[in-house]
A and B are shown apart, each in its own frame.
Chain A
Amino acid sequence: MTSKPLTLAEKVWRDHLVVKGENGAPDLLYIDLHLIHEVTSPQAFDGLRLAGRPVRRPDLTIATEDHNTPTIDIDKPIADATSRTQIEALRHNAKEFGIRIHSLGDIDQGIVHVVGPQLGLTMPGITVVCGDSHTSTHGAFGALAMGIGTSEVEHVLATQTLPLKAFKTMAINVEGTLRPGVTSKDIILAVIAKIGTGGGQGYVLEYRGSAIRALSMEARMTICNMSIEAGARAGMVAPDETTFEYLFGRAHAPEGADWESAVEYWKTLPTDDGAVFDKEVFLDANTLDPFVTWGTNPGQGVSLNDSVPELASISDPNERAAAERALEYMDLVPGTKMKDIRVDTVFLGSCTNSRIEDLRSAAAIIKGKKKADGLRMMVVPGSARVRLQAEAEGLDKVFLDFGAEWRFAGCSMCLGMNPDQLAPGERAASTSNRNFEGRQGKGARTHLVSPLVAAATAIRGTLSAPGDLEENNG
């Protein structure tokens, strides 16, 4: 029997089709895993209560507290009354509807996109949704994972399905070998700079090629995480031995004969030879530099070896106007070398880069050194378990000796919602995902970087790559 060759995304779609949409109606897709947090769910639960509807599958749903939580004094009541009310609403809703919750202080609490994979709940070929745009993270396992709005959260709670319009597919081919000091964060920042913040709109991205295959699961999660920053609803990497190795033995991973059946199915998922993508993009890993943003959207990025762009070099009038505005907000002058930009704060954390490998790689660079004078560095593990693991490896001491703050798990300074915020005008090198105006606090200025660049920057005080440190010693 021969059938039409399919892409990874098309196979996952096919295997979750509950009702095929007719006459322009969207397809109805089954949702295997629904992740919940405090910010985008209270209004959804209210909707259920108003309609007298139960949660259809509490056993496919899990909640954690992350966005609106403090990262110090977590044993004390949350000081801000509005934040406390929101957290209490989640706890109350979880109890009322029978949903598993990992609250502040619980060993499995953490950023929702760190917790799911860590528990082995995120698996290849499943559909994952969460009321958070960075749900695309889970695509690293070959899952179709999408951020949704609160109305859709309510819809999934009530029906365990979602009406979805078919996506187009885009292959992001990254061939070659990354040079030392260059990471998956630099790949994705370069991809976004190349295709733009709207370039992925309407597409599911599939990251392919030898450079992607060589990445660890955590590095793949960093890439898929920022798919949304290119406008894509989801980003995926085909499952392989690296994926299976990561999953094996995790709390909720299949066991015994179930594991064998699962792996057998997962091996059928990668894109078929001859399958056609609607669009293909190519990136050379061999020549890639560490990447950093200069503006106020994640597409406004350059090589760390470059300078703030001249406005005249931007041909599109809308982009030029946006760049002009961005430079004013960022207080930057065209032609300034990126490496001459001094920062006040370095933030190592967020669902993009707060996993154990991220902490290890940054710690390896700063070990035995002192942070730059006057600079503040905040290290926020992605989950309580990442924090414990780091402490078991002595990484907390490395960060503390360096002069950094060692915090409890949460979204922290990524989104200017909880107490961790930058002051107006303050400039940060952040391993997070968004450099929007005010994202890390009102009037705050953000440069997106990899954990390696974050570490080197914390030592020198100016945007730096690990390679710059060697030159100094040289």
Chain B
Amino acid sequence: MDKFTTFTGVAVPLKRSNVDTDQIIPAVYLKRITKTGFEDALFASWRNDPEFVLNQEVYKHGEVLIAGPDFGTGSSREHAVWALRDYGFKAVLSAKFADIFRGNAGKQGLVTGEISEEDTEKLWAAIEANPGVSITIDLVDKTATLGDIKVSFAIDEYTRWRLLEGLDDIGLTLRDEASITAFEAKRPAWMPKTLPVRTVGER
């Protein structure tokens, strides 16, 4: 994973709350077995609407999404993060993120910054006054700057550290392999095992 420190890109206002992952990427696009190439699937249903924000020329190359609260609810599909990433988004700002989405984003280098609803409105107004304007996401001091507006965002400190360092989770965990093995040695024998296969007994 690449290190993330600061990033400047076109800000896109997504003025909707409760954007669930079925909207971010509908299920029909989940049949693919690759991890890239999902840019066409992002907001696929909404993109049929010519008025949709990403269909407007100034926002077509958007890289920072500013969305209403409860972003990423519903299905655990990491494809939602891949679709945002493949389209070109590097960060999403919202007043509230769903837990699984936020976790998935952190694993893929997509920054999720939590801002207040008041700051969301402020950024939306500033973007709409100057469509196509860029915003700077600074992960070091946890701020988003757009023109003379500077807002702070919250992000879990551990995720922030991993993003700043570009660290891979599995590699980090495997440093603790001895502890995992020690834990396994103490597990009771009756804990569930899928193998060997047992058939359903008569009750």
Contacts and interface: CB of A to CB of B under 8 A. Distances in A.
A158 B170 contact: yes
Interface residues of B, number: 67
Nearest to B172: A163
A152 interface: yes
Given A18-B183, A46-B35, A163-B173, A59 B195 contact: yes
A30 B183 contact: yes
A6 interface: no
A385 B200 contact: yes
B74 A133 contact: yes
Given A53-B170, A149-B103, A58 B180 contact: no
Given A60-B192, A133-B74, A252-B192, A434 B22 contact: yes
Interface stretch (A81-89, A170-178, A281-289): A81-89
Contacts of B146: none
A417 B28 contact: yes
Contacts of B27: 67, 415-417, 439
Contacts of B34: 43
A229 B75 CA distance: 9
Contacts of A67: 27, 30
A151 interface: yes
B113 interface: no
A434 B98 CA distance: 15
B interface, over-half SS: loop
B22 A159 contact: no
B152 interface: no
Contacts of B31: 39, 68, 80, 82-83, 85-86, 417
Contacts of A47: 35
Given A108-B200, A439-B22, A322 B194 contact: no
Interface in B166-203: 169-170, 172-174, 176-177, 179-180, 183-184, 187-195, 197-203
Contacts of B189: 258
Given A32-B192, A202-B99, A416-B27, A148 B76 contact: yes
B30 A417 contact: yes
B192 A149 contact: no
Contact of B170 (A51, A58, A133): A51
A83 B27 CA distance: 12
Contacts of B20: 297, 434, 436
Interface stretch (B65-73, B85-93, B127-135): B65-73
A442 B70 contact: no
B176 A149 contact: no
7 contacts: A18-B179, A24-B158, A26-B158, A39-B77, A67-B27, A149-B76, A439-B27
Interface of A: 18-19, 21, 24-26, 28, 30, 32-33, 39-40, 42-43, 46-47, 51, 53, 58-62, 67-68, 80, 82-83, 85-86, 89, 100, 108, 118-123, 126, 131-133, 147-152, 154-155, 158-161, 163, 165, 197-198, 201-202, 228-229, 231, 233, 248-252, 254, 258-259, 261-262, 265, 297, 318-319, 321-322, 325, 385, 415-417, 434, 436-439, 442
6 cross-chain pairs, A with B, having the tightest CB-CB distances, nearest first: A149-B104, A151-B107, A149-B78, A417-B27, A254-B190, A42-B33
